[in-house]
Every structure is written in C-alpha cells, then in structure tokens.
C-alpha cells in the first residue's frame, strides 16, 4: 500500500471509531500526518504514516521510511499524548519493526499495520514483537 492509501484507510477507520480528526495531512511534507482526539475527551493521538516505496533496494527504503516516521513521532512526543506509526502490513515492515520493538515499547510508541483486510497492532503492552489483529483502534490507542 502506498502512503496515501494507508492514510485514507486509517483516517476513515479512526472517524468511524469515534475519534475526532483534528488534521490529516495529505500534501504537506512537514509535520505529523494524523492528529486526532480519542473519544470521550481522551488524549491527543499523533500518527505518522508511511507507505511502500517503489524502486530498487526495498529494504533500504523501508528502513528509511521507519527512521523518518520515528523522527516525526519523537518530535511530538511529550509523554502524555499517544504516539503511533502506521505502516503497510508487509513481511518486510513487520520484520523491521520486530527488530526495534524493545525501544519502541520503552518509549510507549504504538505501531499499526494496515492492509485491505484490516489492522494489526503492536503496542507498549505487547508481550512479543508479533502484531495482533484488532477490530478497534479505540481499544488499543485510547487508555
């Protein structure tokens, strides 16, 4: 999935799940991609979205995408808001995220994997680096 598809799928699901979307950036290259509020006046949620990139050396492109996403999330990280990275649900991204699961977990960063069938989640409370299928983002992103 390309970044635009991941962003569209995720933002539609967030809205349907009761989140208040404050901003979804489709064209801007600066700033976090999705800003939302959890239902029932919960915390602010920041989500940086990355998609598959075409061209040679896909592994290097995935590494660069994840690095960029981490930098964006760390720039808004305040210890109170919920921070997440959304990625296409591919074997390459799953493998890469599994390798950096301990520091993501320590920082409280969520990872949401997106495909045409739905979502999988890897969060700070996940006991293993294996993403679990979820039906609601509200239950994993909102305390």
The phi-psi region of residue 44 (left if phi > 0; otherwise alpha if psi is between -120 and 50; otherwise beta) is beta
Q: For position 143, what pLDDT does the model report? A: 79
CATH 3.20.20.70 fits 3-141, yes or no: no
Predicted confidence at residue 23, as pLDDT, reads: 93
Bridge partners of 36? 21, 45
Look at residue 129 in the predicted model and tell me its pLDDT: 87
Residues of the chain below pLDDT 50:
none
Domain chopping of the chain, boundaries: 3-141
Tell me, what's the pLDDT at 104? 94
Cα first-last separation, the chain: 29
Q: What is the pLDDT of residue 84?
A: 98
pLDDT of residue 41: 77
Nearest residue to 47 (alpha-carbon basis) of 99, 119, 135, 95? 119
Q: What is the pLDDT of residue 87?
A: 98
Helix H segments across 1-99?
3-16, 58-76, 91-99
Burial of residue 80 (number of CB atoms within 10 Å: 0-12, 13-18, 19+)? exposed
What is the reported pLDDT for 27? 78
pTM: 0.94
pLDDT of res. 97: 96
């Amino acid at each position: 999935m390309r970044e635009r598809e991941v962003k569209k799928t995720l933002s539609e699901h967030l809205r349907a799940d009761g989140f208040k979307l404050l901003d979804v950036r489709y064209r801007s290259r600066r700033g976090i991609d999705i800003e939302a509020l959890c239902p029932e006046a919960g915390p602010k949620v920041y989500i940086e979205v990355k998609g598959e990139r075409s061209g040679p050396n896909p592994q290097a492109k995935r590494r660069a995408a994840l690095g960029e996403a981490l930098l964006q999330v760390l720039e808004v990280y305040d210890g109170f808001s919920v921070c997440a990275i959304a990625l296409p649900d591919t074997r390459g991204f799953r493998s890469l995220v599994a390798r950096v699961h301990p520091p993501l977990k320590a920082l409280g960063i969520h990872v949401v994997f997106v495909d045409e069938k739905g979502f999988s989640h890897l969060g700070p409370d996940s006991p293993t680096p294996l993403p679990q299928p979820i039906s609601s983002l509200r239950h994993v992103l909102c305390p």
